[in-house]
């Protein structure tokens, strides 16, 4: 399961971008269009989404991404939700070349083993005996998301196939991946930032916990998907971080 990456922009600095579960690389177009002269962007398509393959070999995924990144002397990482979690795990495996790590609404992990098992079972149960439309409807009814955006987001997601997304969740569910909270100390020499929506209380609290150990926590008036709800403010924030 190799990482699928496309490239946009022509700047001297490099940034790897990762969308979230049910997302698309095109979500970042607003950012790329405004920063393409400063950055070359490398857009990761999460396994199981669009043309990206999906199987249980997650080590091959991280190894291929690391091999791809050897072409740059240094780079930054920006990932949303599941994509952010994957980039966090990638960062901990490749500390030496990373300038900055920016996570948006991403969870370093579930600490309690029983909670992880319950989450994994819940994630897989959501796929059983249902149509794609029903799955999307239930997914975006979660309190993390702004209900006013549901229809708009769902239109794009019909490009995915439900059984491939189920396999992706089976591999990347927060209930399956290990907690990385105890590993975050290894990021002390990297500029680490967390972006959360003020209406997404769970991830706002995660941001505050990360702030207590030295991360910068940035909050905008939104729910879980900050870059979709607040693209103008989000762009200004990334510009500000880019200058710091």
* pLDDT tens-place string over residues 133-146: 676 666 666 666 67
| pLDDT reported for residue 149 | 65
As a whole number of angstroms, the distance between CA 132 and CA 109 comes to 27
CB 78 within 8 A of CB 104: yes
pLDDT digits (tens, 9 = 90+) for 23-33: 899 999 999 99
Mean of the pLDDT values across residues 86-91? Answer: 97
Question: Among 77-86, 166-175, 222-231, which stretch is predicted with the lowest mean pLDDT?
Answer: 166-175
Mean of the pLDDT values across residues 93-111? Answer: 95
Q: Which long-range contacts (CB under 8 A, 24 or more apart) does 62-66 make?
A: 62/89, 62/90, 62/93, 64/2, 64/3, 65/3, 65/5, 65/16, 65/90, 66/90, 66/93, 66/94
CB 177 within 8 A of CB 89: yes
pLDDT at position 38 over 80? yes
CB 25 within 8 A of CB 17: yes
Which of the pair, 221 or 169, is modelled with greater confidence?
Answer: 221
List the domains of the chain with CATH numbers: 4-110+179-243 (3.40.50.1820)
Q: HEC states along 86-118?
A: HHHHHHHHCHHHEEEEEEECCCCCCCCHHHHHH
Count of CB atoms within 10 A of residue 30's CB? 15
Which of the pair, 210 or 134, is modelled with greater confidence?
Answer: 210
Percent of the chain with pLDDT over 70: 85
Counted residue by residue, the chain has a size of 244
- pTM of the predicted structure, to 2 decimals: 0.90
How would you classify the pairing of strands 39-45 and 4-9?
A: antiparallel
pLDDT digits (tens, 9 = 90+) for 163-206: 788 888 888 888 889 999 999 999 999 999 999 999 999 999 99
pLDDT band, very low/low/confident/very high, at 240 (cuts 50, 70, 90): very high
pLDDT band, very low/low/confident/very high, at 151 (cuts 50, 70, 90): very low
CB 136 within 8 A of CB 154: yes
Q: Is 18 exposed, middle or buried (0-12, 13-18, 19+ CB in 10 A)?
A: buried
């Amino acid at each position: 399961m190799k990482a699928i990456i496309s490239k946009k922009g022509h700047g001297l600095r490099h940034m790897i971008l990762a969308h979230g579960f049910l997302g698309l690389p095109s979500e970042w177009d607003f950012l790329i269009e405004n920063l393409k002269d400063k950055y070359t962007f490398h857009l990761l398509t999460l396994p199981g989404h669009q043309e990206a393959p999906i199987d249980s070999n997650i080590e091959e995924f991280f190894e291929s991404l690391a091999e791809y990144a050897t072409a740059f002397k240094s780079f930054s990482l920006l990932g949303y939700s599941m994509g952010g979690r994957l980039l966090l795990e990638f960062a901990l495996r490749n500390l030496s070349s990373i300038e900055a790590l920016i996570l948006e609404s991403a969870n370093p992990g579930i600490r309690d083993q029983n909670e992880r098992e319950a989450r994994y079972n819940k994630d897989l149960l959501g796929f059983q005996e249902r149509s794609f439309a029903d799955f999307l409807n239930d997914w975006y009814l979660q309190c993390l998301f702004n209900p006013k955006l549901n229809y708009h987001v769902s239109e794009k997601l019909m490009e995915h196939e439900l059984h491939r997304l189920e396999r992706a969740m089976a591999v990347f569910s927060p209930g399956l991946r290990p907690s990385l909270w105890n590993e975050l100390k290894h990021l002390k020499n990297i500029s680490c930032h967390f972006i959360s929506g003020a209406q997404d209380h769970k991830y706002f609290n995660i941001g505050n916990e990360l702030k207590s150990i030295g991360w910068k926590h940035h909050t905008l008036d939104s729910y879980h998907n900050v870059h979709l709800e607040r693209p103008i403010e989000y762009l200004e924030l990334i510009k500000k971080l880019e200058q710091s």
